[in-house]
Amino acid sequence: MQKLRIEGGVPLSGEVRISGAKNAALPILCASLLTPEPLFVENIPHLRDVTTTLGLLAQMGVAVSVDEKLGVELCARELTHRVAPYELVKTMRASILVLGPLLARTGEARVSLPGGCAIGLRPVDQHIKGLQAMGAEIAIEHGFIVAKAARLKGTRIVMDLVTVTGTENLMMAATLAEGTTVLENAAREPEVVDLAQCLNAMGARIAGAGSDVITIEGVPRLHGARYRVMPDRIETGTYLVAAAVTGGSVRLRETRSDILDAVLVKLAEAGAKIEKGPDWLWLSMRGKPRAVSVRTAPYPAFPTDMQAQFMTLNTVAEGTAVVTETVFENRFMHVQELRRMGADIEVEGNTAVVRGVPRLSGANVMATDLRASASLVLAGLVAEGETVVDRIYHIDRGYECIEEKLTQLGARIQRVN
Ligand SMILES: CC(=O)N[C@H]1[C@@H](OP(=O)(O)OP(=O)(O)OC[C@H]2O[C@@H](n3ccc(=O)[nH]c3=O)[C@H](O)[C@@H]2O)O[C@H](CO)[C@@H](O)[C@@H]1O
Ligand SMILES: C=C(OP(=O)(O)O)C(=O)O
C-alpha cells in the first residue's frame, strides 16, 4: 500500500495550478448518459474517482475517449447495461449520480445502494423520494435501487434537507421529464451551478441554479456539447491552509476567488494576508496563525470539506478554537490521528475544542477518508521530524498529483510503497 512520507518544517512558497473540481466533474461526466450525442469535457482532473466514473460509464456502453491534455469525450449512443454494481458504488458514493440520468433517458436503472461510510450514514432517501414524486416506481431489491418510469413527469419537490448530489440527480432527471420541475430547498453549491450550465449547453432549460429554488423545463432530448469544468475550490482552500499553517506564501492560479468567501474570511481572521484576482489567489502568513472557530453548513457557509484542514491549522494556532460539524454526523476521524502527533483536541458530540500547542511532532498516521487525509498531510508539513501517512488511496480520490504540487512549493514529501 502506498504512503506519503513528509519531512516537516518548511514554509511553503511558490505557485501551483489548481485542477478541475472533482465534485463538478463527476456529475458532469454522468450527464453524458442523457444524450446519444458526444459530450466533450475539458479540465477533468486526474483522480481515482474520475477513473472509477469513466469505468462505470464505459461498462454501461458509453464510448469514452481520453486525451490526456485536451479532455474526455463521452458518447452514450446506446446504453447496453443500466446497472451500477456494488463493487464500484462501494468505492465511490458519487456513483449514485447515474441514477437520475439513466432513468430519465432509458426508463430504467439499477444502482447499488451506497452503504454508510467513514464520515456518516449518508442515506439517499431524498434522491429516491424526488424521483418517486416525478412518477418513478422504485423498489429496493437485493441491495439495489431498482427504478422504472415510462417518462418522468415534472412536479414540485420540496427537499427535506439540503443535499448536493440529491439536487444534481433530480436536476439531471428533470431535464428530460414531461413538463416543469421545481426543486425547492435545493443545494446552492457552485458545483450545482456548473452542472446546470453544462446541461443548458446540452439544450436543457434550467433556471435558478445557485439559489434554493431551481426550475427545470423538461425537453424531449438533449444534444452534445463542449464544456470546461470549474476549478476545485476545496483543493484551492487546502493549498491556502498549507501555506498558512507552515507560515509560507503561495500563489494559486487557474482557480476562482469568488466562491471561497467563507474560507477566505476565516484565513484572514487567522492572520493571513490575501490578495486575489478573478482566476488567482495569493496568501502569505507571517508567524503562527491565530485560532479560528468554524461551523460547517451548506454553501455559502463554511464547507464541511474544509473542516479537517482547519482543524490542523488550529492545532498549532495561538489560542483555542471551536470546530462544529453540522453536515455529517461522524466527520472527526482525523482527531485521533492528530492527537498522536501531539494535538490537544477534545470532542463532544459534533463539536471539537482545539487548543493550540507550540508544535506537532511527526508520527505514523492513518488516513480514514479524503479530507482527513489532507489534514494529516498538512499536519505533517508543519510537524517536527518525519510523518508517514498510510492509506493514501483516500487522498488520490480527490487531490491531483498532491506530492508533485507540494514539492513544487518546496515541501519535502515523497510517495513510498
Ligand atoms: C460528490 C460530491 O459532490 N460530494 C459532496 C457532496 O456529497 P453528498 O451529495 O453525498 O452530500 P449531501 O449534500 O447529500 O449530504 C448532506 C447531508 O444530507 C444527508 N442526506 C443526503 C441525501 C439524502 O437523501 N438524505 C440525507 O439524509 C447526508 O447524510 C448528509 O448528512 O456534498 C457534501 C456536502 O457538501 C460534500 O461533503 C461532498 O464532498
Ligand atoms: C466527502 C467527499 O467526497 P464524496 O462525497 O465523493 O465522498 C469530499 O470530497 O470531501
Domain-by-domain residue ranges, the chain? 3-19+231-416, 22-228
pLDDT value, residue 1:
86
- Domain 3-19+231-416 shares a fold with domain 22-228: yes
196: left (phi over 0), alpha (psi -120 to 50) or beta: alpha
CATH of 22-228, picked from 3.30.465.10, 3.90.220.20, 3.40.50.300, 3.65.10.10, is: 3.65.10.10
Q: Which residues of 325-350 are buried (b: 16+ CB within 10 A; e: fewer)?
A: bbbbeebbbbbebbbbbbbebeeeeb
pLDDT value, residue 73:
98
* pLDDT tens digits along 166-186: 999 999 999 999 999 999 999
Mutating to test ligand 1, I would choose from 164, 259, 306, 333 the residue with most ligand atoms within 8 A of its C-beta, which is 164
d(CA 7, CA 28): 38
- Give SS3 for 41: strand
Residues with CB under 6 A from ligand 1: 23, 26, 93-94, 120-127, 161, 163-166, 191, 304-305, 327-328
Cell of 29: 461526466
d(CA 104, CA 220): 10
Pairing of strands 156-158, 180-184: parallel
* Domain 3-19+231-416 coded CATH 3.65.10.10: yes
* pLDDT tens digits along 136-166: 999 999 999 999 999 999 999 999 999 999 9
Indicate if ligand 2 lies below 6 Å from the C-beta of 232.
no
Output DSSP code: residue 10. Answer: P
d(CA 195, CA 241): 27
Q: Which residues of 165-182 are buried (b: 16+ CB within 10 A; e: fewer)?
A: bbbbbbbbbbbbbeeebb
Mutating to test ligand 1, I would choose from 47, 128, 129, 163 the residue with most ligand atoms within 8 A of its C-beta, which is 163
Would residue 30 show up in a list of annotated catalytic residues for this protein?
no
> What are residue 232's phi and psi, to 5 degrees?
-85, 110
d(CA 18, CA 280): 9
pLDDT value, residue 117:
82
pLDDT value, residue 213:
98
Output DSSP code: residue 114. Answer: P
pLDDT value, residue 116:
74
Residues of the chain with pLDDT under 50: none
pTM, full prediction: 0.98
Ligand 2 center to residue 330 CA distance, Å? 13
Burial of 277 (0-12, 13-18, 19+ CB in 10 A): exposed
Q: Residues marked as binding for phosphoenolpyruvate?
A: 22-23
ipTM of the modeled complex:
0.99
